Structure 1
Amino acid sequence: MGDSQQMILDPAIRDWVLIPIMIVMVLVGVLRHHITMLLTGTPKKPLLKAIRESKALLRGMRLRSFGNYIPHHAFNSRKQYLSQAYEKGTYLKNPDAAKDNNNNNANPLTAPNPMTDPEMMEGMMDGMKKQLVNMVPQMLIMGWINFFFQGFIVIKLPFPLTPRFKSMLQSGVDTRDMDVTWVSSLSWYFLNLFGLGSVFALILGDSNAAGVDMAAMGSMPGMMPGMGAQPGQPQDFKKLFLAEKENVLITPHVWDLDDVEERLLTKYGKFSPTKSSSPPASKSKKEPTIKDKIKAAQKISGKRR
C-alpha cells in the first residue's frame, strides 16, 4: 500500500489517454443528440382525449388535496360528480374498449395489441431507434478503449473511498494491492458516460438526447440488468379511475373558512371567545326613540328662551 501511494503517472497519459477519452465522449454525445433528433423528428402533439384522460385523474387528486379551501356544498357536488364520472368512464380515451373488457370476464386487463395501434407502433419504433443510437456508439468506444488503452491508469481521485468501489473504478486492471482511488481507462469511460449530463445540458439544453438512456443501456448485454423498460404496456386508466373514486369518497372535508372572523379577531386581540359565548346583559334603560329626542330638544330650546 505504501508503494502504491507513491505511484507517479506519466504526463503523456494525461495528454493522450485521459483528455482524449473525455473529448471523444463529449463529441459522441453531441453527435448522438443530433442523430436522434433526425431519426425521431419533432415530437407529435398528444391527442386531446389522452390529455383529458390524464388531467381527469389529476382533478380528483387536486380535490383531495385542496378541497378544504371551498365550501362544504361545493366539495360535495364535485365529489359526487367525479365519483360518477370515474364509475361510468366518462373521461376514458376509449370508453367502448373499456366496456367490452368489462363485459368479457376472461381477462379484463389484457394489454392491447401494439401491432394494431398506430400510436403504440410508432412509440415502439422510436424506442428502437433510440436504443440503436445509444448502443452502437458505446460499443465502438468501448472497443476503441479496450484495444488501445487496456490496463492504463489515468487519474487518481482526490478523496478516499471504501474498498467496495475497487471493482467499479479499476475495471480491466487486476491488482489487489492498488489503492482504490486510482481509476483505470475503462472506468474513466464509465464515469464520463454517466457524469457528463450537466455538460450536455449546458451545451444542448435540458431536453437533450446526448445523455445515456437507461432503457437502452438495460438492453445491452452484460450491463445494468433489469433496467430495460418494456414498451407496449399502457396504463389501465379504468382501474386508476376506480381507485381514485374510492379515495375521493372517503376524503373528509373541513372548510378552512369556518369561523374565520372569530379566529382573525382572536389572533389580533380584538375578540375574546369567552365574552362572545356568554349572553349579553339586559339593559335596565331603554334606548331613547326619535320622539323622545325631539321632545328633549324642544325643552332645551324653551328654557334658553
Structure 2
Amino acid sequence: MSTAASLYLDPSIRDWVLFPISLVMVLVGILRHYVLLLLQNKPKPQTRAQIREQRALTRSQLIRATSAHSPLAPPFYHTISQNLKQAFTDGIYLKDGLPVPKKPKEGGDEAEFPKPPSFFSDPGQMDTMMSQFKTQTVVMIPQMVIMGWVNFFFSGFVAIKLPFPLTLGFKPMMQRGISTPDMDTRWVSSLSWYFLNFFGLNGVYRLLLGNEDTGVDLQQMASGMPNMSAAPAVPQDYNKLFKQEKENLDFDAGFYNWIGEDVESRVLRKYGKIPPADS
C-alpha cells in the first residue's frame, strides 16, 4: 500500500486548521470591503467651465467626424466651423482663459507662455494618488498579516486532500512548507491552502457582497495585489488641444460633402422618374 493511501488526517486538523484559515480570510475580506467603502473618495463634480471646455472640443470632433457625409447644409457647416476656429483662437472656451505670456528673454523674439501645471502640482491628482495609496495599503497589509499568521501557527500541517488527481508539476504549489517527495500531489498543506483561498475567494466575496462597488475589483481583493494599471490621468493642456483642433478643422474643410447635395435628382432617379446620370 502506498504512502498516500495510508495517510490519515486527524479530524481536529479540519476543525482547527482548515476551517479557521478559510473563515479568517473570508471575514478579513468582508471587513476590507467596508473599510474601502469608508476610504473611498467621491469624485469632485466638475465646474461649468470645465464641462464647457470639454464639450467644445467634443463638438468640433463630431463635426470633423461627419464632414465627409455631413448632415449640415453648407451655410450652417461653414458658420459653425468658423465660429469654433475663432473661439479656439481667442480662448473663449478655456476655463481659465488664455495664459498670459511672460516677458521674452534677452535676445528672444517671441514671448514665452507659462507651462501647464505639472502632474505633482495639481491638488486633484495628489488626492487621487493618496486615495490609491490608501486602497493598496488596505488591500496588501491584511494579506501579509494573514500569511504570517498561517506560516507561524499552522506550518507543516497537511490540511486537506483534493478529490481529483494532479500531476507532479503541481506538487510545489500544493505542498508548500512540507518537504516530502513521496506524498501524493493531491494532499494540500496549510500554507498552500492559504494560497488557494488567496486566489479563489472571488466567488465567495461576490456571493456575500454582491456587485457593490468599492473602488477595488473583487478579483483584486481576493489576490491582494494593487491595481497598477489605474494610474491617475495626466492633466491635459486644452490650449494646445484647441490649437490642434483648429488646424484639423481647416484640413477637414477640404473633405466637406453635404449629404443632401442633389437629393432631388437622386430620389427621382431612384424611382425611375428621370434617366440615370450615365445614360
Q: Quick check: 1:28 aligned with 2:36? A: no
Q: Show the counterpart of 1:134.
A: 136
Q: Show the counterpart of 1:145.
A: 147
* Aligned partner of residue 134 in structure 2, secondary structure: helix
Q: Quick check: 1:59 aligned with 2:59? A: yes
1:245-302 CA-to-partner distances (Å, cap 9, x unmatched) read 22222222111122333434454xx325526888xxxxxxxxxxxxxxxxxxxxxxxx
Gaps of 5+ in 1: 215-219, 279-305
* Aligned partner of residue 97 in structure 1, secondary structure: coil
Q: Give, in angstroms, the shift of residue 61 of structure 1.
A: 0.9
> Comparing both structures, which one devotes a greater share of its residues to helix?
1
Q: Quick check: 1:242 aligned with 2:243? A: yes
Amino acid at match of 1:95: G
Equivalenced residues, count = 243
Q: Show the counterpart of 2:195.
A: 186
Amino acid at match of 2:195: L
Distance (whole Å) between structure 1 residues aligned to residue 161 and residue 48 of structure 2? 53
Q: Give, in angstroms, the shift of residue 69 of structure 1.
A: 1.1
Distance (whole Å) between structure 2 residues aligned to residue 48 and residue 157 of structure 1? 61
Q: Show the counterpart of 1:253.
A: 256
Structure 1 residues 75, 14: closer, same or farther in 2, change over 3 A?
farther
Q: Show the counterpart of 2:107.
A: none
1:6-33 CA-to-partner distances (Å, cap 9, x unmatched) read x999993764434652443233213321
CA contact (8 A) 2:57 2:242 kept: yes
Distance (whole Å) between structure 1 residues aligned to residue 22 and residue 159 of structure 2? 9
Amino acid at match of 1:189: F
CA contact (8 A) 1:142 1:186 kept: no
Gaps of 5+ in 2: 105-109
Distance (whole Å) between structure 1 residues aligned to residue 31 and residue 117 of structure 2? 41
Distance (whole Å) between structure 2 residues aligned to residue 43 and residue 226 of structure 1? 19
Distance (whole Å) between structure 1 residues aligned to residue 163 and residue 265 of structure 2? 64
Amino acid at match of 1:71: A
* Aligned partner of residue 210 in structure 2, secondary structure: helix
Distance (whole Å) between structure 1 residues aligned to residue 251 and residue 163 of structure 2? 55
1:70-97 CA-to-partner distances (Å, cap 9, x unmatched) read 1122111112121222222221111243
CA contact (8 A) 2:91 2:98 kept: no
Q: Give, in angstroms, the shift of residue 60 of structure 1.
A: 0.8
Structure 1 residues 123, 275: closer, same or farther in 2, change over 3 A?
closer
Q: Quick check: 1:124 aligned with 2:132? A: no
Structure 1 residues 147, 121: closer, same or farther in 2, change over 3 A?
same
Distance (whole Å) between structure 1 residues aligned to residue 163 and residue 78 of structure 2? 61
1:1-305 matches, cutoff 5 A: 12=14, 15-18=19-22, 20-33=24-37, 35-37=38-40, 40=41, 43-67=43-67, 68-97=70-99, 99-100=101-102, 104-105=111-112, 108-111=114-117, 120-121=122-123, 123-125=125-127, 127-148=129-150, 170=173, 173=176, 185-186=194-195, 188-190=197-199, 192=201, 202-204=210-212, 206=213, 208-211=214-217, 227=229, 229=231, 233-251=234-252, 252-267=255-270, 270-271=271-272, 273-274=274-275
* Aligned partner of residue 217 in structure 2, secondary structure: coil
TM-score (norm 2): 0.62
Distance (whole Å) between structure 1 residues aligned to residue 273 and residue 205 of structure 2? 60
CA contact (8 A) 2:91 2:97 kept: yes
1:85-140 CA-to-partner distances (Å, cap 9, x unmatched) read 222222111124364599653x753535966xxxx325523541442243134212
Higher relative contact order (CA 8 A, sep 6+): 2
Structure 1 residues 89, 263: closer, same or farther in 2, change over 3 A?
same
